[in-house]
A and B are shown apart, each in its own frame.
Chain A
């Protein structure tokens, strides 16, 4: 059952990836899709400058309007995110975001390497010395060596949302009153990976303009990719401003997780498998919960329920 549920979520993630990015042929041509779908936002983080993308990135869309000549706030993009977040909360992260899927695949690859290494060494596959400053080892009973992010780092994404997405594009403007999309410009690893690298490969003339900005963004991308191999959903936990918006709405979203305390036998299995380091028995509606359903599928007492209602009809 657990494997079936896992496979179902993966299939939905892949389908969502395909729906967001159907124009794969554009990679070779170095062109972008230019049709009318681009005026609609995708719920997840998917760069609109990616050659394969047919929808717009909501964070990019928000900054484009915030930094435009005539407007300082995007009612359209914020309204869209409010609607999606109020119904699904961070289930968007767990089920449909392409960049979330990428991080899961990277962590899966990391797990494979860790397993091979642990078989070879007969150890538990710990991280190399020196990485402990960024992440702390999960004190899980299974001793699987899973790593988790130091809790204060999870608040960085809210600062990024406020400063780079909302404040800088509206405040740091030029003579025409236009601001730059600061998150795209200085941070976004999705833009560097999905748009920057493929477009630089097909447009040699662009490579001649490479400079410090690209070095900064490439460095952030490298940290995010390595971080995602070591820690489950490293970028989602620490840096993603879109995840921050859905996290705020997670508390009230219609799709939610609920725990029947009368059924719970306090075995701790749910907390052990949670990719976001949550104990769903204590905080079923934590801001970090991506509604992946991993906890409810391993619960031996059937105490956790993910859905639009609180408890399962018997």
Chain B
């Protein structure tokens, strides 16, 4: 029962966060980071 209330509430908040993050340009930052070799990931940065 607890799950049936908390999960939809969290999903609603999460959807708002994803929409807000996308609108303010976070996806562009992620795309830019992910399409270039990340020096930190490979251990050189």
Contact = CB atoms under 8 A, between A and B. Distances in A.
A224 interface: no
Contacts of A286: none
Interface bracket on A:
35 or more
A49 interface: yes
Contact of A39 (B3, B27, B36): B27
B44 to A, nearest CB: 5
A195 interface: yes
A90 B22 CA distance: 25
A77 B17 CA distance: 9
25 contacts: A38-B35, A41-B30, A48-B41, A49-B38, A49-B42, A56-B31, A60-B34, A61-B30, A65-B21, A65-B29, A71-B26, A76-B20, A77-B21, A79-B16, A82-B10, A86-B14, A180-B45, A184-B40, A185-B40, A192-B42, A199-B42, A210-B44, A214-B42, A217-B43, A252-B7
Interface of B: 2-3, 6-7, 10-11, 13-18, 20-22, 24-31, 33-38, 40-45
Interface of A: 32-34, 36, 38-39, 41, 47-49, 56-57, 60-61, 64-65, 68, 70-71, 74-80, 82-83, 86-87, 180-181, 184-185, 188, 191-192, 195-196, 199-200, 206, 209-211, 213-214, 216-218, 252-254, 256
